[in-house]
Chain A
Amino acid sequence: MRKLALSDDILMQVEKPARYIGNEVNSVMKDKNKVDVRFVMCFPDVYEIGMSHLGIQILYSMFNAWEDVWCERVYSPWTDLDAVMRREHIPLFGLESQEPVKNADFLGITIQYEMCYTNILQVLDLAQIPLLAKERGEDMPIVIGGGPCSYNPEPIADFFDLFYIGEGETQYRPLLDWYLENKKRGGSRLDFLKGAAKIPGIYVPQFYEEVYKEDGTVKERKKLCEEAPDKILKEIVTDVSDCHYPMKPVVPFIKVTQDRVVLEIQRGCIRGCRFCQAGQLYRPVRERDVDKLKEYAVEMLQNTGHEEISLSSLSSSDYSKLDELLDFLIDECGRKHTNISLPSLRIDAFSLDVMSKVQDVKKSSLTFAPEAGSQRLRDVINKGLTEEVILKGAALAFEGGWTRVKLYFMLGLPTETEEDIRGIGDLSNKIAATFFDTVPKDKRVNGKVQIVTSTSFFIPKPFTPFQWAPMCTKEQFLEKAYQTKQGIMAQLNQKSIKYNWHEADVSVLEGVFARGDRRVARVILEAYRRGCIFDSWSEYFHNDVWLSCFEDCGLDIAFYTTRERADDEIFPWDFLDCGVTRAFLLREWKKAQSETVSQNCRSQCQGCGANRFGVGVCTESD
C-alpha cells in the first residue's frame, strides 16, 4: 500500500484530508524506477478548483499515455495545512507518489488567473524549490508556466525557467525528448534551457532583459543569448478532432467545482468581443468532429461514473453541429440517468427547447451577458447582443415557465458614460416588465420574477483591442457601482431586481498584473514574504499589505492601470505572438472608439492574422 506523505495526525487535523491523499479513480500510478521523466502538474489553488480544470486533465492523460513519463498532480495546500507544512518543514508532495515535488524533473504550473500569483510562490516555497529561477541548482525541477496568463508572463518571469506559450498538446514531446537527450549527453541545466529556447512556443525568460525608457515604458528587449528567438509564436493544435483527449479523467472523492464529464466541443470563438482575451488568444475557431464527441461522451461517462456531463467552449451556440450533439446526448443521458449542464448558450427558441428537456425550468435560471447597459456601449465592445434579442428571448423563456434571470454587465468599459450605466437598470427593469406583460397573473409561479443583475469591473487585458485602454481607479469603480445601484433602485420593478457587484481592490491589482512588466515581480515576491496567499479568496486578500508592498518597492499602481497608452507604445508582451496581429488589434481599438462593430469570423473575416495557421474557421468555405 502507498505510504502517505502526511501522518494520520496531520490528516486528522486539517479540513478535507481527501485533498492530499491522491488515490482517486483514474489517477495513474507508475513505478518510478521504470520511467525516465517525472512531471508534476500543478494548479496553484485549492484542490477543488484545480481538479475542475480541463487543461490539466488533458495534459495529465497525455503525459501518462507515454510509457517513459509519469505525470502527477499537486495543488495549493489550503491555509491550515500550509501552516503545518511550514512549521514541520514537510516538503510539498505529488498526490500520486506522495513523494517530494522537488524530486521530479519538471514542475508544470498552469496559470489561469492573475490572482493566483502568490500561490505559485507558495507552491515553490513549500516544495523547497528556490523562488527565483536563476537561483535553482542543477538538481532542481525545471519549472514551466502555461495557460492564459503566460501571454503576459513578465510579472512572474523571474519565477519560471520557461513558459510554454499556446496549446500544450504539440511541443511537450519534443521538449521532453530534448531533456532526455541533454541528460544523456551530460548537459547542464543551462544547456537544456538553451536547447529548449529553440523549440517552437518555448520562452526562456532569463535569456532576455527588459530595458525601460525614462517614462517607465518598455524601450526594448535585449537578448542575452543567441539561442533565444526574437518572437515566440503560440503553439496551436491543427486538428482538434485528432488530438489527445482524456478518456479517463481523474474522479475526485470530494465535491469539486466541476464535478462532471466535460466535453470540449471547440476551441476559440468567432465573436471578437473587444474586452475578451480568450476570444483573441485561441483564434481561430476549430470545431471537434461531432461523431468523435459522441464517442467521447459515452466512453467518458462509462469510465468515470459521473452523473453529469457538460459542454465546454467559449460560445457553444456557435458550434455548427450543436443540435445533432444535443439530440444524441439527451437520448443517451436520458437512458443513463445522467444530467446535462449547458453553459453559455444564446437564449433563443432552440436553446430554450433544449434546456426545458434537460433541466427543471422552475429551478433553473436564464443567463444573459449583455456586458454593457446601452446599445452604444455594446457596439463599442462589439458585443452583438441587442436589447430586442434579449427581450424576445426573455419573453419566450417566461412563456416556457422560467422565472429567474441572471444578467451580467461590466463597469468601467472604455467610453462609458452615466447614461450607459443607467441602461443597466433600465434593461433589468424592462426584463421584469416583460415578465408581467407575458405571463398572466394566474399563471405566475410564486407570483413573481427574480432578476439578478451582477457587475464586474472591466480590466484591460493583453492581446485585446482594449490593451491600450486606461482602466478605472478604485474610486471610479465604486462610484459606478453606486450609480448602478441607484439606477436599479429608481426602477418601477426594483423589487424584482437584486444587484451584486464585485470587489474593487482586487480588480485594481488584477489590472496591474495583467499588463505589468518584469518590475512587478518584486512586489509579488514581497507580498508573498509578508504572508499573502490565496488572494483570489476574499477572506485572505489583504489589500493594505499589497499597497504597502507597491510603495516599498517604489512602483506606481496608476502607471499600470489608469495610464493611457500611446498607439505605438511597446508592451511587455509584444515579443509574444498569439496569431492575431497588433495591427488588427489597433484597428479594432480605433473602431471601438468610433462605435463601429465588426462582423464575426463566419459572416466576414476581419483579417486578424490568425489565418496564418491555415486551420479552422479561416479555411471554412461558404
Chain B
Amino acid sequence: MKIRIKFAKYGAMKFIGHLDMMRFFQKAIRRAGIDVKYSAGFSPHQIMSFASPLGVGLESTGEYMDIEVNSMTTTEALKEALNGAMVEGVEILSVGVLPDTVKNAMASVAAASYRLQSKNGAFAIPNPEETVCAFYAQETIPYTKETKKSVIQLDLKQGIYDVRMETGASLFMTVNASSSGNIKPSMVFEKLCEFAGAEIPAAAYQITRLETYTDLAGEGAPHRFVPLSACCTEESQAECY
C-alpha cells in the first residue's frame, strides 16, 4: 500500500539537508514501528520517495514523502505514531493512502508556493506592491544560471505562476518546482531586487515553502494545481496552516 505523508519543517531543522532528512525519516519510521516495505538484498532499504528537495535554510509547511507499507491500521494511527517519533521542528501534518496508479511524489511535483518574509519587518524594496506588479508584468525575466558544468539562460517568467506582496512585509509566489523546470524562490527575489535597483540583503529573509502542488490539467491545458495530498483517496485530518 502506498502512503503519502505531508510534513512541516521549521526551526533548527531547517539546517538539516535533504539526504539527512531521508535518513531521519528512515529511522523515525522504524522507531514508530511502521510496517514499512523494504527492498531485497544484503542492505535492505525502505521504499521511499520525497517530493522535492528543500534547500538548507528554508522552512516548509508543505513537504511530502511517499512510503510503501505492508500493513497499517488507520492513517490517523500512522500519523500519530510518526509524530511520536519526531523531534522539535518536524511535524507530520497529514497521512493519506495513494491509489496505486498515482505517480510517486517526486514525479508528481509541478509547482510550489513560497513566502519570503523579512526577519526584521522591513522590506528592502521601495513601494513593494507596485514594484512587484511591474516586475511580473515584464515580457521576460531572463536569468543566468551558473552550475559547475555550464551556464544556462532561463526565462523565469515562464515558471512564475503567481507573485505578489502580502501584508506584513512578505512576498508570496507560486513557481515551477518540477524536476525539469524548478525555480528557486531566491532566484525570483534576486531578479526582483535587481529590477528595483535594491541590494540583495543576505539572510535577512526567511523563505518558507507553503505548499507543493501537482498539476491535474492535461498536456497543453491551463494549469490546475492541487496540493500533492489531494491525490490521496483517504486522508487524515490535515492541520490548517
Contacts and interface: CB of A to CB of B under 8 A. Distances in A.
Interface of A: 1-2, 4, 7-9, 11-12, 17-18, 21-25, 251, 253-255, 301-307, 336-337, 339, 359-360, 363
A277 B56 CA distance: 44
A305 B57 contact: no
Interface string B11-37: 111011100100110111111010000
Nearest to A364: B42
Given A23-B89, A253-B20, A303 B203 contact: no
Contact of A21 (B15, B17, B42, B44): B15
B88 interface: yes
Contacts of A253: 16, 20, 23-24
B27 A251 contact: yes
A305 B31 contact: yes
B150 interface: no
B26 A307 contact: yes
Interface string B169-203: 00000000000000000000000000000000011
Given A1-B89, A11-B15, 7 more contacts: A2-B88, A23-B11, A24-B87, A25-B24, A305-B28, A307-B26, A360-B43
24 contacts: A1-B89, A7-B203, A8-B119, A9-B202, A11-B15, A11-B57, A17-B56, A18-B16, A21-B15, A23-B88, A25-B31, A25-B87, A253-B16, A253-B24, A254-B20, A255-B23, A303-B31, A305-B26, A305-B28, A307-B26, A337-B38, A339-B42, A359-B42, A360-B43
Contacts of A304: 27, 31
Nearest to B206: A8
Nearest to A12: B57
Contacts of A337: 38, 44
B85 interface: yes
Contacts of B43: 307, 339, 360
Nearest to B27: A305
A12 B161 CA distance: 28
A29 to B, nearest CB: 9
Contacts of A2: 11-12, 88
Contacts of A254: 16, 20
Contact of B30 (A11, A17, A23, A305): A305
Contacts of A251: 27
Nearest to A23: B12
Interface residues of B, number: 30
A337 B57 CA distance: 33
Nearest to B29: A305
Q: 9 tightest A-B contacts by CB?
A: A305-B27, A305-B30, A17-B15, A305-B31, A360-B42, A21-B12, A9-B203, A337-B44, A337-B38
B87 to A, nearest CB: 6
A361 to B, nearest CB: 9
Contacts of B28: 25, 305
A25 B27 contact: yes
Interface of B: 11-13, 15-17, 20, 23-24, 26-31, 33, 38, 42-44, 56-57, 85, 87-89, 119, 202-203, 206
A400 to B, nearest CB: 15
Nearest to A10: B203
Nearest to B119: A8
Contacts of B16: 18, 253-254
A17 B57 CA distance: 10
A339 B30 CA distance: 14
A304 B26 CA distance: 11
Given A4-B12, A307-B30, A23 B87 contact: yes
A148 B57 CA distance: 40
A256 B205 CA distance: 31
A15 to B, nearest CB: 11
Nearest to B13: A23
Contacts of B89: 1, 23
A359 B42 CA distance: 6
Contacts of A1: 11-12, 88-89
A445 to B, nearest CB: 16
A9 B203 CA distance: 6
Contacts of B11: 1-2, 23
Nearest to A251: B27
A484 to B, nearest CB: 34
Contacts of A4: 12
B20 A18 contact: yes
B19 to A, nearest CB: 9
A395 B11 CA distance: 56
B64 to A, nearest CB: 20
Q: Most chain-A Cβ atoms within 10 A of its Cβ — which of B11, B26, B28, B33? A: B11
Nearest to B31: A305
A8 B23 CA distance: 23
A376 B237 CA distance: 74
Nearest to B42: A360
A286 B237 CA distance: 54
Contacts of B23: 253, 255
Nearest to B15: A17
Nearest to A259: B23
B12 A22 contact: yes
Contacts of B33: 302
Contacts of B12: 1-2, 4, 21-23
A268 B27 CA distance: 32
Contacts of B119: 8
Nearest to B43: A339
Contacts of B17: 18
A355 to B, nearest CB: 12
Contacts of A7: 203
A7 B12 CA distance: 11
A143 to B, nearest CB: 28
Nearest to A1: B11
Contact of A307 (B20, B27, B85, B88): B27
B17 to A, nearest CB: 8
A299 to B, nearest CB: 12
Q: Most chain-B Cβ atoms within 10 A of its Cβ — which of A306, A307, A363? A: A307
A29 B125 CA distance: 41
B205 to A, nearest CB: 10
B41 to A, nearest CB: 8
B45 to A, nearest CB: 8
A586 to B, nearest CB: 49
A73 to B, nearest CB: 15
